[in-house]
Amino acid sequence: MATGSNIHTYFEGAWHKGDLPVMKAADHGIWLGSNVFDGARMAHGLTPDLDKHCARVNASARALMVEPTVSTEEMVEIIHDGLHAYPRDAAVYIRPMYWAIEGGLAAIMPREGGATGFAISLEEIPMSTPDTSARLSRTRFRRPVMEDAVVNAKAACLYPNNARMLAEAKSRGFTNALVADALGNVAEAATANVFAVRDGEVFTPVPNGTFLAGITRARHIANLRADGVRVHECVMSFDDFETADEVFLSGNMMKVTPVTAFEDRQYQIGPLTRRARDLYWDWAASARN
């Protein structure tokens, strides 16, 4: 079932209108989980950091022992070609994907040198409004470490764990979860990286190999620092969020999502949250991505 509408699919060298079937029942990716993807955005006629998202899907494929077959530059060109099917003011989610087709040793590993599946899905999905917010709960589920899972990739096999986090949060009336790493420190939210603001300074969990430090996260850090805001990447506890002045989420899908509650703690949508969003789109427009 598609998330968005007005879908176009790139597969086997051509663009097709609609949600095209691309995998077969015996493909390694469908039954053994060697699927990776990335997500970029077109919004306001811009495609911020598209090249970085395309480069990351190739890196994610290699992390799952799947050989990428399309260069970053070629992928960017293919995507821009596909985006011609949409109005310039459309909000489009851009999802390049790889999966292994053939299995190797005991079928579990992708076959070395085996065929790789590749597709791109474009879907119209609206951007959030400035007042769209999230309410966070705790969750008993945690982010895995490198020894347990391929946390260095944007891999489909990681997302059932995120789904458990979300289901637990939603069962308690929240919209997302603030998630711990293996040591009990805050790693991120179930679907996005997370920032806290205290006394005019910004704090975010330091990448420690348990979560994917996002491309949009890095862009926010660079933009805020260039604007004179002190940003700290550090070990963070749940207490740091309970005592914060503002909290916001960072992800490619919505770029900035204000947080208005963490358990019983309530927040206003604050000035640095709004500033992070404004700086992001100012940067994107100036870079003409």
- What are the residues whose beta carbons fall under 8 Å from the beta carbon of 22, sequence distance 6 or more? 9, 11, 117, 119
Kind and range of the H or E element at 247? strand 246-251
The verdict on pTM exceeding 0.75 is yes
Owner of token pair 């991505």: 289
Q: Averaging pLDDT over each range in 1-10, 97-106, 257-266, which range is the top one?
A: 257-266
Contact (Cβ atoms closer than 8 angstroms) between residue 236 and residue 196: yes
Q: For all residues of the chain together, what is the average pLDDT?
A: 96
At residue 230, does pLDDT exceed 60? yes
pLDDT per residue as tens digits for the range 148-175: 999 999 999 999 999 999 999 999 999 9
User: Which has the higher per-residue pLDDT, 128 or 178?
Assistant: 178
Using the CB atoms, write b or e for 47-57: b if 16+ within 10 Å. bbbbbbbbbbb
The ranges assigned to domains in the chain are 5-124, 134-287
pLDDT per residue as tens digits for the range 101-131: 998 767 789 998 999 999 999 999 999 888 8
Q: What's the confidence (pLDDT) of residue 142?
A: 97
What the block records as the tokens of 177 is 């979860």
Distance CA 113, CA 2 (A): 32
Residue 16, judged by CB atoms within 10 A of its CB (0-12, 13-18, 19+), counts as middle
What the block records as the tokens of 127 is 């951007």
Q: What's the confidence (pLDDT) of residue 289?
A: 54
List the CATH code of the domain at 134-287.
3.20.10.10
At residue 244, does pLDDT exceed 90? yes
pLDDT per residue as tens digits for the range 183-217: 999 999 999 999 999 999 999 999 999 999 999 99
CATH class of 5-124: alpha beta
* DSSP symbol at 155: B
Q: What's the confidence (pLDDT) of residue 287?
A: 79
Contact (Cβ atoms closer than 8 angstroms) between residue 141 and residue 164: yes
> What mean pLDDT comes out for the span 40-53?
97
At residue 37, does pLDDT exceed 70? yes
> What mean pLDDT comes out for the span 4-15?
96
Q: What's the confidence (pLDDT) of residue 288?
A: 65
What share of the chain in percent tops pLDDT 90? Answer: 94
Q: What's the confidence (pLDDT) of residue 131?
A: 83
Contact (Cβ atoms closer than 8 angstroms) between residue 216 and residue 252: yes
Q: What's the confidence (pLDDT) of residue 104?
A: 73
pLDDT per residue as tens digits for the range 48-62: 999 999 999 999 999
Give the torsion sign (CA, 185, 179, 126, 122).
Answer: positive
Q: What's the confidence (pLDDT) of residue 167?
A: 98
* DSSP symbol at 251: E
Residue ranges of E strands in 125-200: 134-137, 176-180, 186-189, 193-198
User: Which has the higher per-residue pLDDT, 3 or 238?
Assistant: 238
Distance CA 252, CA 81 (A): 21
Pairing type for strands 35-37 and 40-42 reads: unpaired
